[in-house]
Every structure is written in C-alpha cells, then in structure tokens.
C-alpha cells in the first residue's frame, strides 16, 4: 500500500540524513529529532485517514449484513401474509446484497490490516522518539566529554611542543655561552702579544732607572 511505502521512505531518509550530517553529531541529533517529530505528524495524519477508511468499510459491511437480515425478515412476513410475489422481491434483493457481501468483507479486512500496521508503526515511531529524547542529554554529555578530551589532547601536544622549544632555548643559550667564552679567551690572547709584553717591561725598568738617578743626585747634594 502507498502509505506504508511512503513511511518506509520517510524512515530511510532520516537514516540517510543522519549519515550525511555525521560530522556534527550534536546538531545531527537535534535535527534528527526535529525530522522525526515532523514525520510523526505526517504518520498521524495518514494513520487517521486509514483508520477512517477502516471504519467506513466496517460500516458498509455492517449495513449490508443488516440489510440482508432485514430482507430475510420481510420475505418471511410476506409469506406469512400469503404474498409470495412480495416475498420473492425481498429474496431477490437479499441475493443482490449477498453478492456484494464478499467484496465488502474483503475491503474491510484489507482496511483493518492496513490500519493495524499503521497503528503499529505509529506507536513504534512514538516510542523511538521518546527514547531518543530521553537519551539526547546523555549523548550530548558524552559528546561534551569527548570534546574536552580532544582539547586536552591538543593541549598535551602543545605542551610537548613547548618542551621542545624550551630544550631548544637551552641549547641556544649553551651555544651563546660557549661563543662568549671563546670571545673572551681570544681577547685575552690578543691582549698578551710579545710586543706589548716588551713595552710594558721596558716602561717598568725605565721607571726604576729614573728613580735611582734621582736618588743618587739627592745623596750627592746632601754630601752623602
């Protein structure tokens, strides 16, 4: 039947939408529930229509059955009144109605089965939606925890990167210290050339000689 096929298509489209939007589970859950509630409205409308068809088929069947019984009663009354012609007419009408009865019974059986299937699917959809709504907060809670864990994982990676940067900084600091020590050593070596050493030594003795001369002159002047 058409509605049953359409209902299956509705459910299939929800599953496809679920898969298409899997990259954002939290939004997907809310959208899926909105879709399901929208579908539930359509299913309710179709279920009500099919239940109305079931009631109409049942009413037509009951009316035909009651009319057959009524024609039978009138035929009996006509015979009791010794009116065979009228009794024949009632029985002829009964035969016409009886010929319709199997078709009406088949229509009612089909409508009843369809209504039962629709009620079953309607009730299942309602239960599924209620279950999903009850689980929504739990699922969102899990997603929040997962996102927090992802942030922690990223921070762990950042900390590892920071540790590498710190190690590199220390390495460069050691290189700078070595370069400074080397530069200082070179400065010391450059300040101790042989020419500079001789000049300093000469100035020392030259200074000493001047003092001796002055000391001798002073003694001579004093008669010593």
Annotate 63-82 with DSSP letters as a single string.
Answer: HHHHHHHHHHHHHHHHHHTT
**What is the pTM assigned to this prediction?**
0.49
* CB-based contact 56:71 (threshold 8 Å): no
160 and 181 assigned to the same domain: no
Collapsed DSSP state (helix, strand, coil) of residue 222? coil
Are 19 and 58 members of one domain?
A: yes
Higher per-residue pLDDT: 110 or 219: 110
Q: Which of 117, 114, 68 is nearest to 94 (CA)?
A: 68
Residues 84 and 159 in one domain: yes
Instruction: Give how many domains the chain has, as a whole number.
Output: 2
Residue 40 has pLDDT above 90, yes or no: no
State whether 64 and 163 are in the same domain.
yes
Domain that holds residue 59: 2-167
Q: Is the pLDDT of residue 175 over 60?
A: yes
Domain end among 146, 167, 188:
167
Return d(Cα 97, Cα 65) in angstroms, integer: 8
pLDDT score recorded for residue 9: 60
Whether residue 181 is found in the same domain as residue 200: yes
Q: Which residue has the higher pLDDT, 207 or 133?
A: 133
Domain identity same for 67 and 39: yes
**DSSP assigned state of 192:** T
Q: Which tokens sit at 65? A: 């059955």
Q: Out of 28-37, 140-149, 203-212, give the one with best mean pLDDT.
A: 28-37
Q: Is 194 a residue whose pLDDT tops 80?
A: no
Question: What number of CA atoms fall less than 13 Å from residue 65's CA on the CB side?
Answer: 11
CATH number of residue 100's parent domain: 1.10.287
């Amino acid at each position: 039947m058409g509605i049953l096929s359409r209902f299956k298509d509705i459910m299939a489209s929800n599953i496809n939408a679920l898969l298409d939007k899997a990259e954002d589970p939290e939004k997907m859950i809310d959208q899926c529930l909105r879709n399901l509630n929208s579908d539930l409205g359509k299913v309710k409308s179709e279920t009500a229509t099919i239940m109305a068809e079931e009631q109409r088929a049942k009413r037509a069947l009951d009316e035909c059955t009651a009319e057959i019984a009524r024609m039978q009663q009138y035929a009996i009354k006509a015979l009791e009144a010794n009116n065979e012609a009228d009794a024949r007419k009632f029985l002829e009408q009964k035969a016409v109605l009886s010929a319709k009865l199997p078709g009406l019974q088949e229509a009612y059986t089909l409508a009843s089965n369809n209504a039962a299937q629709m009620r079953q699917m309607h009730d299942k959809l309602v239960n599924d939606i209620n279950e999903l709504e009850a689980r929504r907060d739990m699922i969102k809670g899990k997603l929040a925890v997962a996102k927090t864990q992802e942030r922690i994982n990223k921070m762990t990676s950042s900390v590892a990167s920071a540790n590498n940067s710190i190690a590199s900084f220390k390495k460069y600091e050691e290189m700078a210290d070595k370069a400074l020590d080397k530069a200082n050593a070179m400065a010391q070596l450059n300040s101790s050339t042989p020419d500079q050493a001789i000049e300093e030594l000469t100035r020392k003795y030259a200074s000493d000689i001047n003092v001796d001369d002055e000391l001798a002159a002073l003694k001579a002047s004093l008669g010593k």
